[in-house]
Chains A and B, each alone.
Chain A
Amino acid sequence: MSKGRFGKHGGQYIPEVLMDAVIELEEAYFALKDEPEFREALQELLNDYAGRPSRLYFAEKMTHDLGGAKIYLKREDLNHTGSHKINNVLGQALLAKRMGKTRLIAETGAGQHGVATATAAALLDMECEIFMGAEDTKRQALNVYRMRLLGAKVTPVFTGTATLKDAVNQTMEEWIKRLKDTHYLIGSVMGPHPFPTMVRDFQAVISAEIKEQILAQEGRLPTCVLACIGGGSNAMGAFYHFLQDPEVRLIGCEAAGRGADSPDTAATITSGHLGIFHGMKSYFCQDDYGQIAPVYSISAGLDYPGVGPEHAYLHDTGRAEYVSITDSEAVDAFEYLSRIEGIIPAIESAHAVAYARCLAPTLGRKELIVINLSGRGDKDCAAMARYRGEDLCE
C-alpha cells in the first residue's frame, strides 16, 4: 500500500509528472515540521499576525434559547482574513518559502482560501495566482476584489461546472506547467499525500486550543464538537486532538443543498461512493460509471464532490458522525446566530450552527457542545439577501 493512507483511503493518485514534486514536498514537510526554528516562526505568525489563539466563546443566549446543552463557539471567524484557512496557509507558505519556491497557486471556492493565500503571498513577498470557478467569482465577487487588492492574479475557471472541483483541476494543471518555482497551496485536507496530513497538522491548532480552553473554562471535555465539512479542513482541525477521547462525539455537517437525496446536493458521505479523484481514494458524488457528479450547495465553500480521506476513514470506523444540512436550514441558522448572538457566521459555518439547533435541545443542560465557527459571514450577506428575494447591490 502506498503512502498517506487512512485505512483504504488517501494515497497519491496523480500523474507521474507530479510525483517528484509531491515527494520533494513530503520530504521538506517532515524535515521541517518539528524543527524549532520553523515552529517558532509559524507560531509567531499565527499569534501576532493571524490573531491566535482564537476565543472559545460561551453562547449564553443561544444556550438559553435552545434550552439544552451549553453551547460554545470556537471563534475561527475572528482570525485575520476571516476564517480558519489562514492557519494552513501560513504553514504551507512558510514551508514553500523554505523550499525556495517563489510563487503560490491555489484553488478557491468561497474565496476564503484564496484571500488567505493572497494575504500570505503579500506578507512573504511571493507571486500568487488563484483559480476560482467562474460561477463562484459571481457568487463571491467581493472576495475576488480582495484577492486582487492583495496583489494576486485571479483566474476564473470556465470548464466543467465552473465551481470548486474545476478550480482544483485547473490549479493542478497549472502546477504541472511550473513545478520548479511554484507551490500548490491546497486549501483542504484533500489531494495526494502529503496534503491531507499536512493540512490537518496545520489546522490541528484549533482542537489543541479548544481542549485547553474548555478544560480551563469547564474543567472537562466537550460532549460534542461540531464543524461544517466540504473538503473537511476546519472539521479535521477541530476533531484532531479529540480523536483519542472516545467520550467526545465528533460531528461533521455536510451541505445537503436542496436535499441529500436530490441531485442538487454536495453531501458526499451521505450520498457518495468510494472512488479515486483529485489524487486520493475517498468518497465522491459520482454516477454508476465513476463520472464525477455536478454537485450543488448554496455555500461555495462546501460545494465540492469529495471529502478528505481521513474523514472517509473516521466515517468507516464510526469515530466521527456525518450529518447533512439543507440550504434552507443553513440560511435559517445564518440569520439565527446573527440575531441571537450578534455574530454573522459564514454560510459554511452556519451548517454546523444549524445542526447544533437540532442537537442542543435533545441534550441535558450539563452537556457541552462546541461549534467550530470556521468563518465570518460578511462575504455572504449579498447572496443571503438574494436568497430571501432582496435585490442588494454590493
Chain B
Amino acid sequence: MNVKQAFSNGKSVLPFLTCGYPDLETTEQVAYALERAGVGLIVLGIPFSDPTGEGPTLRQASECALENGVTTERVFDLVARIRRNCSMPLAFMTYANVVFSYGTVRFLEQAAKLGVGAIILPDVPFEEKEEFAAVCRQVGVQYISLVAPTSEERLGKIAREAQGFICCISPCGAREIDTLRQFTLLPVVACGGGESCPGQLAKEAAAADGIFVDSAIMDVVARHGKDAPQAVFDYAKSIVAAVRQD
C-alpha cells in the first residue's frame, strides 16, 4: 500500500499504536476505529524490551504486550487480519534489533507481503540507514527518515535521501519543516511530542503535511483498556477535524 495515499486527502493524522496492548484483539479493533475516524496512516509499533526515549505510557504498553507473549510473528498475524478488513496505509515502527534479529531481509519481505508500506526505526540515524534502506528499496517498503533539530546541512543531507515522507521528532518546529522543504517535495510530518489536545496538535501540524500522534492515542487505550475502540474513535475524529480545519 503506497504511503502517498495517506496525504491525498488534505492534512494527515498518523497515530501510533503499540501492537498487543492491552491485547492483540483490542489493537485490531482500535485500528478499524482509527480508519473510520479518518486518519491517514496507522503506525504499528512492535514492542521492544528496552524502548529508550519513550514516555511512561508507551513503555508500559510495550512491557505489558511482551508479558502477554506478543512476538514479531504474532504482530504479523495481526496485520494479516487487519489487512483482510482494511486497506489503509500502514507503517511499522520498532527498534533496529527487532528487525535485525528476525533477519532484515526476511522481516521486510514479510512487511511488504502484508502491505505495510513503510518502516520507522527510531534508533537508526542517517549514518546507519543503508543497512535497512537498501533492503527496503529491494522489497518496496519505504524507509522513513526521522529528523531532529540540527544544522541545515544535515537536514538537507537527510531530506535528499528520504523516501515516502519525513517525520520531524520533537522538539522540531516550523524552522526545520521550512528548511526540509528547500530540499524535498516529500510530505513533512510534525510530531505531537506527547501533546493530547486536538487544537494543540493542529497547531503543531500548521506548517506540516501531517501530524504524528506519538502517544496520545495510546494514553486513551491505556485509560479504556478493552473498551478503547469507541473512545479512540471519538478522540481520533476530533483530532482529524481540528487538523483539517486549521
Interface residues of A (CB under 8 A from B): 2-3, 11-20, 159-160, 165-166, 169, 172-173, 176, 273-277, 279, 284, 286, 288-292
Q: Which residues of A contact B99 (CB under 8 A)?
A: 290
Across the A-B interface, the 6 shortest Cβ-Cβ residue pairs: A290-B101, A17-B148, A290-B97, A291-B49, A276-B96, A2-B127
Docked-complex contact A275 and B128, CB < 8 angstroms: no
Docked-complex contact B50 and A165, CB < 8 angstroms: yes
Measured in the bound complex, the distance between the Cα atoms of B113 and A286 in whole Å is: 27
- Listed A/B pairs (11) with beta-carbon separation below 8 Å: A11-B128, A12-B128, A15-B52, A15-B169, A16-B125, A16-B147, A18-B125, A276-B95, A290-B101, A292-B49, A292-B50
Q: Which residues of A contact B98 (CB under 8 A)?
A: 289-291
Measured in the bound complex, the distance between the Cα atoms of B146 and A85 in whole Å is: 35
Q: Which residues of A contact B127 (CB under 8 A)?
A: 2-3, 11-12, 19
Q: Which residues of B contact A3 (CB under 8 A)?
A: 127
Measured in the bound complex, the distance between the Cα atoms of B148 and A20 in whole Å is: 9
Docked-complex contact B128 and A169, CB < 8 angstroms: no
A-B contact count (CB 8 A): 98
4 additional contacts, CB 8 Å, given A166-B50, A291-B48?
A: A15-B146, A20-B150, A284-B97, A289-B73
Measured in the bound complex, the distance between the Cα atoms of B73 and A15 in whole Å is: 25
Q: Which residues of A contact B154 (CB under 8 A)?
A: 19-20
Interface residues of B (CB under 8 A from A): 48-50, 52-53, 59, 63, 66, 71-73, 95-102, 122-128, 146-151, 154, 158, 169
Query: Contact partner of A286 among B59, B96, B97, B158, CB < 8 A?
Result: B97
Measured in the bound complex, the distance between the Cα atoms of B98 and A13 in whole Å is: 13
Measured in the bound complex, the distance between the Cα atoms of B50 and A292 in whole Å is: 7
Would you give the shortest CB distance from B159 to chain A, in whole angstroms? 13
Would you give the shortest CB distance from B150 to chain A, in whole angstroms? 5
Docked-complex contact B48 and A159, CB < 8 angstroms: no
Instruction: Known A160-B49, A291-B48; judge A15-B125 contact (CB<8 A).
Output: yes
Measured in the bound complex, the distance between the Cα atoms of B72 and A165 in whole Å is: 22
Query: Contact partner of A2 among B59, B122, B128, B149, CB < 8 A?
Result: B128
SS class of chain A's interface: helix, strand, loop or mixed? mixed
Q: Which residue of A lies closest to B66 (CB)?
A: A291
Q: Which residues of A contact B73 (CB under 8 A)?
A: 289
Measured in the bound complex, the distance between the Cα atoms of B154 and A18 in whole Å is: 13
Measured in the bound complex, the distance between the Cα atoms of B126 and A15 in whole Å is: 9
Would you give the shortest CB distance from B158 to chain A, in whole angstroms? 8
Measured in the bound complex, the distance between the Cα atoms of B147 and A125 in whole Å is: 35
Query: Contact partner of B151 among A13, A20, A160, A173, CB < 8 A?
Result: A20
Docked-complex contact B52 and A13, CB < 8 angstroms: no
Q: Which residues of B contact A275 (CB under 8 A)?
A: 97, 100-101
Would you give the shortest CB distance from A292 to chain B, in whole angstroms? 5
Measured in the bound complex, the distance between the Cα atoms of B123 and A20 in whole Å is: 14
Docked-complex contact B101 and A16, CB < 8 angstroms: no
Q: Which residues of B contact A15 (CB under 8 A)?
A: 52-53, 122-123, 125, 146, 148, 169
Instruction: Known A13-B123, A276-B123; judge A290-B150 contact (CB<8 A).
Output: no
Q: Which residue of A lies closest to B147 (CB)?
A: A16
Measured in the bound complex, the distance between the Cα atoms of B126 and A130 in whole Å is: 30
Q: Which residues of A contact B97 (CB under 8 A)?
A: 275-277, 284, 286, 290, 292
Measured in the bound complex, the distance between the Cα atoms of B71 and A3 in whole Å is: 32
Q: Which residue of A lies closest to B170 (CB)?
A: A17
Q: Which residue of A lies closest to B124 (CB)?
A: A13
Measured in the bound complex, the distance between the Cα atoms of B226 and A142 in whole Å is: 46
Would you give the shortest CB distance from A91 to chain B, in whole angstroms? 25
Q: Which residues of A contact B72 (CB under 8 A)?
A: 289-290
